[in-house]
Amino acid sequence: MAFGYDGRVSSRPEVTMAQRKRRLVADELSEAALQLLARNGYDAVTIDEIAATAGVSKRTFFRYFASKEDVVVQFLADLGTGMRAELAARPSAERPSVALRHAVWASLSACAAHSDKALRIVRLILRTPALRARFLERQAQWRDDLAAELARRLELDPGTDLYPQLAAGMALTAFDTVLQRWSAGGGADDPAELTDRAFAALAPALDAAG
pLDDT digits (tens, 9 = 90+) for 151-201: 999 999 988 999 999 999 999 999 999 989 998 888 888 889 999 999 999
Q: Across the chain, what does the average pLDDT equal?
A: 86
- Tens-binned pLDDT, residue by residue, of the chain (210 aa): 344 444 444 444 566 887 788 888 888 898 888 889 888 888 899 999 999 999 999 999 999 998 888 888 887 777 777 889 899 999 989 999 999 999 999 888 877 777 787 888 888 888 889 889 988 988 999 999 999 999 999 999 988 999 999 999 999 999 999 989 998 888 888 889 999 999 999 999 999 865
Kindly report the CATH number assigned to the domain that includes residue 50: 1.10.10.60
Asked whether residue 142 is domain-assigned, the answer is: yes
Tell me: do 110 and 198 sit in the same domain.
Answer: yes
pTM: 0.78
Q: How many CB atoms lie within 10 A of CB 152?
A: 15
Asked whether residue 76 is domain-assigned, the answer is: yes
Give the domain extent around 167: 67-209
Tell me: do 134 and 201 sit in the same domain.
Answer: yes
* Of 199, 160, 148, nearest in space to 178 by CA: 199
Q: What is the DSSP string of 86-135?
A: HHHHS-TTS-HHHHHHHHHHHHHHHHHHTHHHHHHHHHHHHH-HHHHHHH
Asked whether residue 151 is domain-assigned, the answer is: yes
Q: How far apart are CA 76 and CA 171, in angstroms?
A: 16
Tell me: do 146 and 58 sit in the same domain.
Answer: no
Asked whether residue 1 is domain-assigned, the answer is: no
